[in-house]
Structure 1
Amino acid sequence: MTAINEFIDNEVKNADVVLFMKGTPAFPQCGFSGQVVQILDYLGVEYKGINVLADDDLRHGIKEYSNWPTIPQLYVKGEFVGGCDIIREMFQAEELQGHLADKGIAFKGAA
């Protein structure tokens, strides 16, 4: 396992919710990352945002790690959930909320 894969693996396993994104939660640098941030913030989910633009190795490494070609990428409890389109669709269908609840992740409106 390469150093960047170890870093990603460590981040994914040590935080309940991790968003690999372009920019930061406070200042997303692409619309897709911004949409996922808005959804997570709307739900009040505590998450760690990791800026892939800060490191080329990370930007390429995360795509290999997940075998997913685009950023952002959301991980919950060590599991890849999806990118922007998937997260948005899951949120609109309330599947994301169900997934978070199933994983024991606190969010606004959780029963």
Structure 2
Amino acid sequence: MSDVNQRISDIVQNNQVVLFMKGTPLFPQCGFSSRAIQILDHCGAPYETVDVLQDMEIRQGIKAYSDWPTIPQLYVGGEFLGGSDIMMEMFEAGELQQLLTERAAPGTA
């Protein structure tokens, strides 16, 4: 496993909910990242973020790691869920809130 893949794997495995995004929760740098933060904030589950604009290896590596071409990317309980469009679909169906309740609690996976 390459160094960047190991770094990404460590982040994903050590955080119950993690969003790889452009910018920060207070200052998202794209509309999709902003929407992802709004969804997570509305759900109320604790989450971590990784600003891919601060690390070009992570920015490119996360796309290969997930085999998903766009950012943001959400991981819950170590599993890749998708980007902001999938997050929105899951949120509107009530699935994201349920998943976060079930899987995002500390000590669960």
TM-score range, shorter chain: over 0.9
1:103: how far off? Answer: 1.3
1:104 and 1:11 map into 2 onto residues whose CA distance is 15
What RMSD over aligned residues (CA atoms) do the two structures have, in Å?
1.2
**Secondary structure in 2 matching 1:59:** helix
Q: How many residue pairs align between the two structures?
A: 106
2:24 and 2:104 map into 1 onto residues whose CA distance is 25
Question: 2:22 corresponds to which letter in structure 1?
Answer: K
Aligned twin of 2:71: 71
TM-score, scaled relative to structure 2: 0.92
1:56: how far off? Answer: 1.1
> Contact conserved, 2:76 with 2:104, CA < 8 A, in 1?
no
> Contact conserved, 2:12 with 2:18, CA < 8 A, in 1?
yes
> Contact conserved, 2:21 with 2:52, CA < 8 A, in 1?
yes
Aligned twin of 1:30: 30
The answer to whether the aligner puts 1:56 opposite 2:56 as a matched pair is yes
Aligned twin of 1:13: 13
Uncovered stretches (5+) of structure 2, i.e. residues with no partner:
none
**Secondary structure in 2 matching 1:75:** strand
1:102: how far off? Answer: 2.7
Question: 2:74 corresponds to which letter in structure 1?
Answer: L
1:89 and 1:21 map into 2 onto residues whose CA distance is 18
Moved over 2 A (4+): none
Q: Percent identity?
A: 57
Aligned twin of 1:44: 44
Uncovered stretches (5+) of structure 1, i.e. residues with no partner:
107-111
Q: 1:6 to 1:100 in 2, by over 3 A?
A: same
2:67 and 2:61 map into 1 onto residues whose CA distance is 10
TM-score, scaled relative to structure 1: 0.91
1:42: how far off? Answer: 1.2
